[in-house]
């Protein structure tokens, strides 16, 4: 589905990504792990067109999408969530999820101003799809709540619902359980397993190793911008380079 070849990104001469290559297989969950500052979010930002890589290629369904603008990449069906929440606080939960369908609407602003019956029909359809997505994450009862008053865990879920509502070809999740308690983490873990059963192709950045072990088919590990390991969760868990990358960080912060 997606191949990265020699991806590189520098900030002020320092490499945040250095010749990173790996493949995301269709219908599989890939976890991207690594210590803080390893380049994980930078990689997601390069995949979504928020950042332009300095080197390398990103092949998605047969096209090199490097340097494509973010809106064109979103139109291809690559959707994401953010490490730091990006909801519209005053909009309702439902409207926040509807924003994930803006690209899917076939109506122009001009047609929307005319309020044609076809528009009202389409609005109803989009709303139904948004409600379905909310249902997947147990948010149906809160559809009309302003996003601002939700608990943190539910806000993370609204982001997930908004990312999947357009039925994206590829879903990129940047730390979906960061800041959640154990019970909320288990719930999101189950929701991600549901998405996997539904056949979604997912790249998930995550520090929670229990979640990685439970939901991932393959794991890729970044350290200081370089890919240091890739394989099944079990293989990566026992890889000495990976242990060193994490232990080194723990010693440095001790």
Ligand X SMILES: Nc1ncnc2c1ncn2[C@@H]1O[C@H](COP(=O)(O)OP(=O)(O)OP(=O)(O)O)[C@@H](O)[C@H]1O
- Which among Mg ion, ligand X, none contacts residue 100 (Cβ within 5 to 8 A by kind)? none
Contacts of Mg ion in 46-105 (CB under 5 A): 83
Residue 163, CB half-sphere, CA atoms under 13 Å: how many?
Answer: 30
Cβ distance to ligand X smaller for residue 39 or 49: 39
Site of interaction with ligand X (CB under 6 A):
11, 16, 34, 36-42, 83
- Which among Mg ion, ligand X, none contacts residue 201 (Cβ within 5 to 8 A by kind)? none
Closest-CA residue to 6 (of 232, 236, 227, 235): 227
- The DSSP call for residue 128 is H
For 67, other C-beta atoms within 10 Å of its C-beta total: 11
Burial 71-87 (b: 16+ CB within 10 A, else e): eebbebbbbbbbeeeeb
Distance in Å, CB of 195 to ligand X, minimum: 22
Cβ distance to Mg ion smaller for residue 83 or 105: 83
Task: Report the number of secondary-structure helices (H) and strands (E) in the chain.
Answer: 10, 10
In this chain, which stretch among 40-48, 62-70, 139-147, 152-160 interacts with Mg ion, using CB under 5 A?
A: 40-48
| Residue 166 is a binding residue for Mg ion (CB under 5 A) | no
Contact residue for Mg ion among 41, 166, 185, 218 (CB under 5 A): 41
Cβ distance to ligand X smaller for residue 83 or 226: 83
DSSP 144-175: TSBGGGS-HHHHHHHHHHHHHTT--SEEEEE-
Distance in Å, CB of 178 to Mg ion, minimum: 9
User: Do 199 and 27 form a contact (C-beta atoms < 8 A)?
Assistant: yes
Tell me the site size for Mg ion, rule CB under 5 A. 3
Residue 39 backbone zone (phi > 0: left; psi -120 to 50: alpha; other: beta): left
| Residue 30 is a binding residue for Mg ion (CB under 5 A) | no
In this chain, which stretch among 18-26, 39-47, 67-75, 91-99 interacts with Mg ion, using CB under 5 A?
A: 39-47
- Which among Mg ion, ligand X, none contacts residue 36 (Cβ within 5 to 8 A by kind)? ligand X
Distance in Å, CB of 41 to Mg ion, minimum: 3
Residues found near Mg ion in the complex (CB under 5 A): 40-41, 83
């Amino acid at each position: 589905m997606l191949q990265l070849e020699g991806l590189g990104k520098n900030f002020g001469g320092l490499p945040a990504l250095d010749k990173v290559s790996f493949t995301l297989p269709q219908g599989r969950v890939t976890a991207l792990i690594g210590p803080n500052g390893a380049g994980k979010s930078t990689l997601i930002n390069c995949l979504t067109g928020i950042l332009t890589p300095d080197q390398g290629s990103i092949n998605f369904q047969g096209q090199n999408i490097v340097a494509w603008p973010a809106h064109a990449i979103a139109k291809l069906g690559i959707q994401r969530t953010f490490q730091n929440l990006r909801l519209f606080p005053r909009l309702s939960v439902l409207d926040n999820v509807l924003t994930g369908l803006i690209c899917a609407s076939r109506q122009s602003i001009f047609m929307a101003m005319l309020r044609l019956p076809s528009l009202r029909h389409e609005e109803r359809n989009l709303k139904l799809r948004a409600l379905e997505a909310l249902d997947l994450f147990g948010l149906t009862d809160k559809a009309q709540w302003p996003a601002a008053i939700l608990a943190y865990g539910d806000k993370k879920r609204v982001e997930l619902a908004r990312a999947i509502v357009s039925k994206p070809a590829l879903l990129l999740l940047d730390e979906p359980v960061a800041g959640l308690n154990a019970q909320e983490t288990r719930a999101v873990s189950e929701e991600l397993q549901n998405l996997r059963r539904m056949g979604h192709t997912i790249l998930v950045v995550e520090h929670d190793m229990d979640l990685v072990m439970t939901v991932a088919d393959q794991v890729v590990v970044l350290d200081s911008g370089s890919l240091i390991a890739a394989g099944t969760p079990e293989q990566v868990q026992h890889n000495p380079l990976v242990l060193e990358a994490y232990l080194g960080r723990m010693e440095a912060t001790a």
